């Protein structure tokens, strides 16, 4: 789903499954905002009735945890009479449950209602505008979905999310939506998917020069370093290290001596064995000795480090590997292709948003970031 498209559906999961309510969009030619509309997107008005419907649905969505206490209502500016009444009822329930000590003043309740309205207005307008953008973009690209396709997908989703009809009817009743609302939501999803699929089909070639450049800058990703399995004993003093070496030379196993005297927390329980050690992994002085030559099963030490004195044996060596350019080419080409596809999608989204924002006229009291009249608030600079 396109990032700028999906924002239209961000808060919908709370309403249940993948369904959404009626947009209330009506075809209309010409510019300007009709008296019964909150916005006009490229000649298509978004009606006030649609906005109010969505505010109600969104209010139910954000009040889902309180449904059994007090019936949710949409915030109703400018006086917020119904909203204040509901918030007061909720406060009375909380007071009775001793969750609060006193019922807030009417001024505080009104302030809470105004804040709720501000947040819901932003969400609802963003949804309505972005949804019309999807419809308009699909039309400009020649992308269509038939009613039969939409109905088929709707039934599939409905069966998955609501196996029993009673569950579906309960959802419809509780969410304040209609089947027509849900069908439109499905259509929007299908159009969005087809838009993205069309962009993804565009071929973005990757040259051999790009592959070679990536390979040369990331050779380590296409190989593995030499690895060594080593036996280690760490002691606090040089005398203890020499004594451990003498015990091993006398015939005792490295593992038994390590378990008895080593203070290395990583290898002691494993009889001193460390597997897959690569150059640069251990303390500098020890690392230098571990990789000094290719000899194995040679008891060496003591080696002084900041941690103490080490006695060691290199048990086995696994040679480093490195894929050739030819071997790595398919992987690199696929990765660069995916990167170019993502860049193309990102570029499309930026142009999509800019283009449709320029076609979106909003009534002053409904202006949000997706309207061409929107002006971002100035940020205060802080002096240091």
How confident is the model at residue 68, as a pLDDT? 55
For range 33-53, the mean pLDDT = 95
How confident is the model at residue 380, as a pLDDT? 67
Q: Single out the residue of 176, 191, 193, 189 nearest to residue 21, CA to CA.
A: 176
How confident is the model at residue 27, as a pLDDT? 43
- Determine how many CB atoms are found less than 10 A away from the CB of residue 184: 22
Any idea which of 22-26, 55-59, 214-218 has the lowest mean pLDDT?
A: 22-26
Give the C-alpha separation, 211 to 340, whole Å.
Answer: 13
Give the C-alpha separation, 203 to 22, whole Å.
Answer: 37
Helix, strand and coil percent figures for the chain, each rounded to 5: 55, 10, 35
Any idea which of 27-31, 71-75, 277-281, 306-310 has the lowest mean pLDDT?
A: 27-31
pLDDT digits (tens, 9 = 90+) for 261-295: 999 988 998 999 999 999 999 999 999 999 999 89
Question: pLDDT confidence of 112, banded at 50, 70, 90?
Answer: very high
Do both 39 and 142 map to the same domain? Answer: yes
In the predicted structure, residue 310 carries a pLDDT above the cut 80: yes
In the predicted structure, residue 176 carries a pLDDT above the cut 90: no
Do both 9 and 95 map to the same domain? Answer: yes
Question: pLDDT confidence of 381, banded at 50, 70, 90?
Answer: low
In the predicted structure, residue 32 carries a pLDDT above the cut 90: no
Could you tell me if residue 72 is inside a domain? yes
Do both 102 and 246 map to the same domain? Answer: no
How confident is the model at residue 376, as a pLDDT? 87
Question: What percentage of the chain carries pLDDT values higher than 70?
Answer: 89
How confident is the model at residue 225, as a pLDDT? 93
Could you tell me if residue 382 is inside a domain? no
Do both 133 and 257 map to the same domain? Answer: no
Question: pLDDT confidence of 65, banded at 50, 70, 90?
Answer: low
- Asked if 314 contacts 295 with a C-beta cutoff of 8 angstroms, the reply is yes
233 forms beta bridges with 311
The helix or strand, by DSSP H or E, that contains position 38, with its residue range, turns out to be strand 37-41
How confident is the model at residue 62, as a pLDDT? 82
In the predicted structure, residue 13 carries a pLDDT above the cut 70: no
Could you tell me if residue 342 is inside a domain? no
Q: Any alpha helices (H) in the chain, and if so which ranges?
A: 3-6, 48-62, 81-96, 106-140, 147-161, 165-175, 179-201, 208-217, 238-249, 254-261, 284-290, 325-357
Q: Please give the mean pLDDT across all residues of the chain.
A: 87
Do both 231 and 195 map to the same domain? Answer: no
Give the C-alpha separation, 26 to 44, whole Å.
Answer: 6
- Asked if 192 contacts 5 with a C-beta cutoff of 8 angstroms, the reply is yes
How confident is the model at residue 204, as a pLDDT? 82
Give the C-alpha separation, 332 to 342, whole Å.
Answer: 15
Residue 381 is classified by DSSP as P
Give the C-alpha separation, 281 to 327, whole Å.
Answer: 28
Residue 373 is classified by DSSP as T
Do both 103 and 248 map to the same domain? Answer: no
Kindly state the greatest CA–CA separation across the chain: 100
Do both 174 and 296 map to the same domain? Answer: no
Do both 187 and 289 map to the same domain? Answer: no
For range 164-177, the mean pLDDT = 91
- Residue 276: left if φ>0, alpha if ψ -120 to 50, beta else—which one? left
Do both 104 and 195 map to the same domain? Answer: yes
Do both 199 and 230 map to the same domain? Answer: no
In the predicted structure, residue 298 carries a pLDDT above the cut 90: yes
Do both 194 and 252 map to the same domain? Answer: no
**Which is higher by pLDDT, 32 or 279?**
279
Domain of residue 309, CATH code: 3.10.50.40
Instruction: Identify the domain containing residue 262 by its residue range.
Output: 226-319
Could you tell me if residue 373 is inside a domain? no
228 forms beta bridges with 277, 317
How confident is the model at residue 142, as a pLDDT? 95
- 84, 99, 362 from 365: Cα distances, Å: 21, 36, 8
Do both 237 and 358 map to the same domain? Answer: no
């Amino acid at each position: 789903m396109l990032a700028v498209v999906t924002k239209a559906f961000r808060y919908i999961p709370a309403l249940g499954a993948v369904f959404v309510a009626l947009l209330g969009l009506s075809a209309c030619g010409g510019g300007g905002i009709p008296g019964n509309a909150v916005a006009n997107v490229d000649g298509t008005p978004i009606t006030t009735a649609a906005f109010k419907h969505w505010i109600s649905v969104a209010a139910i969505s954000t009040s889902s945890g309180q449904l059994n206490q007090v019936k949710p209502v949409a915030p109703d500016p400018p006086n917020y009479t119904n909203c204040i009444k509901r918030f007061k009822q909720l406060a009375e329930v909380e007071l009775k449950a001793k969750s609060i000590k006193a019922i807030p003043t009417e001024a505080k309740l009104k302030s809470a209602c105004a804040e709720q309205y501000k947040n819901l207005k932003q969400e609802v307008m963003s949804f309505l505008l972005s949804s019309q953008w999807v419809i308009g973009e699909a039309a400009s690209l020649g992308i269509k979905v038939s009613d039969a396709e939409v109905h088929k997908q709707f039934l599939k989703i409905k069966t998955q999310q609501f196996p029993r009809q009673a569950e579906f009817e309960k959802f419809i009743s509780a969410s304040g939506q209609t089947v027509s609302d849900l069908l439109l939501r499905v259509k929007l999803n299908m159009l969005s998917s087809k838009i993205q699929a069309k962009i993804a089909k565009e071929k973005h070639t990757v040259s051999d020069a790009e592959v070679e450049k990536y390979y040369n800058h990331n050779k380590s990703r296409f190989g593995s370093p030499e690895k060594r399995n080593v036996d280690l004993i760490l002691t606090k003093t040089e005398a203890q290290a020499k004594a451990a070496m003498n015990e091993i030379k006398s015939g005792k196993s490295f593992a038994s001596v390590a378990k008895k005297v080593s203070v290395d927390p990583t290898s002691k329980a494993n009889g001193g064995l460390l597997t897959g050690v690569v150059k640069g992994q251990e303390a500098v002085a020890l690392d230098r000795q571990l990789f000094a030559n290719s000899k194995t099963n040679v008891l060496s030490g003591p080696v002084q480090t900041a941690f103490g004195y080490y006695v060691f044996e290199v048990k086995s060596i696994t040679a480093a590997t490195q894929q050739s350019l030819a071997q790595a080419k398919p992987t690199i080409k696929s990765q660069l292709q995916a990167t170019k596809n993502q860049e193309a999608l990102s570029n499309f989204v930026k142009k999509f948003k800019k283009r449709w924002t320029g076609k979106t006229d909003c009534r002053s009291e409904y202006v949000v970031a997706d309207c061409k009249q929107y002006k971002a608030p100035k940020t205060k600079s802080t002096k240091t």
